[in-house]
Chain A
Amino acid sequence: MKIKNSDKKDHYQILNVNQSASQQDIDKAYEIAVFSFQKNSLAHYTLIDEDQRKKALKKVEEAYQVLSDPQKRREYDQNVLRKKSEVYHNSYFRNSTERLFIEDGDKGLAKLMRSLKEAFHSNKSQKKNDP
């Protein structure tokens, strides 16, 4: 089983910038990323092989092509990132329950059951009220 698509890095993560990054930030990040994965760069020395280096550089180029073009960036933000955020919200549920258990031990189970019940009922009443 492979790692899920939703866990893969998006263009912003590849260039190591925030989604709100300015064009200037993106250009700077691109410069650093290209410098990092250039053939003779010391930054990846012994850490990756030639194939991995080429793949990494290709991803950087792809990310920059999208993020450096305002139109393509807008479309990317609207389509790809929205889907990713939906997946994130679904997976957040699991993470938050983990935190409940880790921090509160056995009491966490009671808390979780209460919140599950509340979520279930609010969902039910919302459906009833919907025209």
Chain B
Amino acid sequence: MLVLFYKYFDCVKIAIQNMDQKQTTRSPVISIRHQSNRTIWAIGGGKGGTGKTFVSANLAVYLSQRNKEITLIDADLGGANLHTFLGLRKSDIDIGDFLTKKVPTLKDVAIPTPYNKLRLVKGSDNLLFTANLNYFKKLKLIRHIKTFDSDVIIIDIGTGSTYNSVDFFLLSNPGILVINPEPTSIENAYYFLKSCIIRLLKLYIDHYKIQDLIKKVTKQLKDNSRSVYSFLSEIISQDKYYADLLYRALKKFRPSLIINKARHEKDFMLGESISNVVQKILVIDLNYLGAIPFSEKVHKSVTGLTPFILEHPESDVGEAISSIASQLISIDNTHHEDKKL
């Protein structure tokens, strides 16, 4: 009976907390995690030169050749060159025209490409303007991205761990990290993941009006010697309900990982190890999609302005890209089946 009483007491506490939550207004950013029915893959990873744009372009071309409607968006707001990977040299219209209100919708700046079923939203030449996108423009951009009715929307989010990159990454399902088997690349990827985690936790904390925990969140995560598990256990000691809620929020965020330019056998094992370590230290599940081997041919295809996957579909790199694309499509199918249930 005593146990029953305690359980009931817990329920009442939850009910009160729930009533409080109902009074809060839904923040616009947290709602972007919940409402998107579109399949959006945001490709990022912190460091420049890891091959994000190469992966974005080749996944897009590969899937468009397999009858999928693809929209490719160059959101590398500080240095766009996705069009070059597709062999397009110049365009009269780009994402900047939408952001500066020269055209009313993002669809107006989506241009056809030489590849059937693939549209491109070209990045802007006006670096100073687009790299410093303000909050409201970013929300507008996100809203318009979701209006594309393609099978898959692929966003190349470029380098760095800015709010822009992190928010595009959190919007997607899944976000895909492209890293190289090098310490600098891995270090930047961990910074990026930590930024995503902090951003996600803060969004939930703001949404549920538990800001008094914000200081603790930031303080705990800045210190490298403390894991997210330790952080959550601190929160558990204060409030189990919210600790559980934050834990579930982190578990819903399931980014994927690609190792690019793998040269040695241990590079091919690195992805699974990173995924293992991240799950233990940062709590989140990082889904390893596979490694793309290093190849000189990639460099040649970039200078030749032809998508690699069209020139060398049977190569090791081509097969790695097709395997990654198939896995992503299968994740997407599972995601939609889960939603139906």
Contacts and interface: CB of A to CB of B under 8 A. Distances in A.
B181 A42 contact: yes
B276 interface: yes
Given A3-B233, A45-B186, A120-B4, A94 B269 contact: no
Contacts of B279: 16
Contacts of B229: 3
Nearest to A41: B273
Interface residues of A, number: 35
B97 interface: no
Nearest to B229: A3
Given A43-B270, A46-B190, A116-B8, A98 B276 contact: no
A98 B277 contact: no
B10 interface: yes
Contacts of B18: 101-102, 105, 108
Of A41, A98, A109, A120, the most chain B CB neighbours within 10 A belong to A98
A114 B11 CA distance: 13
Contacts of B274: 36, 42-43
Contact of B187 (A3, A16, A32, A45): A45
Binding site secondary structure of chain B: helix
Interface stretch (A18-26, A47-55, A65-73, A78-86): A47-55
Given A45-B186, A45-B187, A47-B281, A2 B224 contact: no
A48 B276 contact: no
B14 interface: yes
A46 to B, nearest CB: 5
A7 B233 contact: yes
B270 A45 contact: no
Contacts of A95: 244
A49 B225 contact: yes
B30 to A, nearest CB: 14
Given A43-B273, A116-B8, A120-B4, A109 B15 contact: yes
Interface residues of B, number: 39
A16 B10 CA distance: 32
Binding site secondary structure of chain A: helix
Interface in B260-294: 266, 269-270, 272-274, 276-282
A51 B209 CA distance: 36
Contacts of A102: 18
Given A2-B233, A48-B224, A43 B11 contact: no
Counting from the closest, the 4 A-B pairs by CB-CB distance are A3-B233, A43-B273, A36-B273, A1-B237
Given A36-B273, A46-B187, 13 more contacts: A1-B237, A32-B269, A35-B269, A35-B273, A37-B277, A43-B186, A43-B274, A47-B224, A48-B281, A49-B224, A93-B7, A101-B11, A105-B18
30 contacts: A1-B236, A2-B237, A3-B232, A3-B233, A3-B236, A32-B272, A42-B181, A42-B186, A43-B186, A45-B183, A45-B190, A46-B183, A46-B187, A47-B190, A47-B277, A47-B278, A48-B225, A49-B224, A49-B225, A52-B225, A52-B281, A94-B7, A94-B240, A95-B244, A97-B11, A108-B15, A108-B18, A112-B11, A116-B4, A116-B8
Interface of B: 4, 7-8, 10-11, 14-15, 18, 22, 181-183, 186-187, 190, 224-225, 227, 229, 232-233, 236-237, 240-241, 244, 266, 269-270, 272-274, 276-282
